[in-house]
Amino acid sequence: MVLILLVMFGISAVFVFPTISQAESEEKMFVTHSGGVIKTTGEIIDPIYVESTMDFDPMEYLREFNYGKVSELSDGTTLREFTIIAEDDKVMEISPGVFYNVWTFNGTVPGPTIRATEGDLVRIEFINNGSKEHTMHFHGIHPAEMDGVFEIVGSGGGRFTYEFVAGPVGVHPYHCHVMPLEEHIVHGLYGVFIVDPKEGRAEADEMVMVLNGFDTDFDTENNFYAANTVPFYYQHHPIQINTNELIRVYVVNMVEFDPINNLHLHGNLYHYYPTGTDTVPSFYTDMITLSQTERGIMEFEYSYPGKYLFHAHKVEFSEKGWVGIFLVKDNPKLESEAGEEYGS
């Protein structure tokens, strides 16, 4: 009987051990931003980036505006309803091979660009699905209890409804305001809130640039800088615009740790509206300097086609990722108009 048991144990050992070694050599797959695939049989140490985790397309984010679910109240006021979900367990490949735990509003850093017209009623259903307490604090004018500072929203599904009248006109940041604030902001809990004037602005090719940075080794210094999260993205994927077409950039500086950031445009100057609150530009320049959460609206047109850099003139920042290119093409609309004239 003992002999039989020993033989059975021996047979099972033969079949069990190969199974274990197969599991150990199983390849795990990672996908990078550029679509590259990394395979490894090694031990995966947190953080893990796989296809199912967060992805972010800076080109899509650039011109994506969220106007909310629109309805009209009985007094004629426009109501815009948004749902924003905070999470703090996602991992993003900030730069090739560098994985960082990002905290997100609606799954991305920055969160969605929320857009309304001055006087609209903005209602935000905020759900905190994170493991830490979070809030939404909007810059702008609103009642104290809508400020997202003292009304802490608990983890694991806590809810709060923010409601306020959109104003003033301009471009404003929103961000989590739970202490330690620095930690909650640097991990990515911020986004842009645009308030349009009732009379609107001149038609333009509009885009949003959030200037941000990432401290991936936790020494309270940024290791990477970017316009819209991914370092060097718009250098490798230039932003295509047309000659003789008005370009409007809503720019918001969310870089922590460094006291200033700046933005220089090549081959051109821009009209600059600090905070976007005035209809008359304050400067005509190729260089602005911004401290934390400082922001504004830039307007410009290119006369000549070609490639033009835009970047931080603080060279350390541009060399660590905060640099991009506008690829200016001949305006097809103007060309066809010119063609019609020529032909007629």
Q: Which residues bind Cu ion (CB under 5 A)?
A: 134, 176, 178, 184, 189
Please report how close the Cβ of residue 184 comes to Cu ion at its closest, in angstroms.
3
Shorter beta-carbon distance to Cu ion: residue 109 or 176: 176
Shorter beta-carbon distance to Cu ion: residue 213 or 321: 213
Please report how close the Cβ of residue 155 comes to Cu ion at its closest, in angstroms.
10
Shorter beta-carbon distance to Cu ion: residue 73 or 179: 179
Please report how close the Cβ of residue 64 comes to Cu ion at its closest, in angstroms.
23
Shorter beta-carbon distance to Cu ion: residue 33 or 134: 134
Please report how close the Cβ of residue 133 comes to Cu ion at its closest, in angstroms.
7
Please report how close the Cβ of residue 174 comes to Cu ion at its closest, in angstroms.
12
Shorter beta-carbon distance to Cu ion: residue 113 or 135: 135
Write the single-letter amino acid at 171: V
Bin 185: left if φ > 0, else alpha if -120 < ψ < 50, else beta: alpha
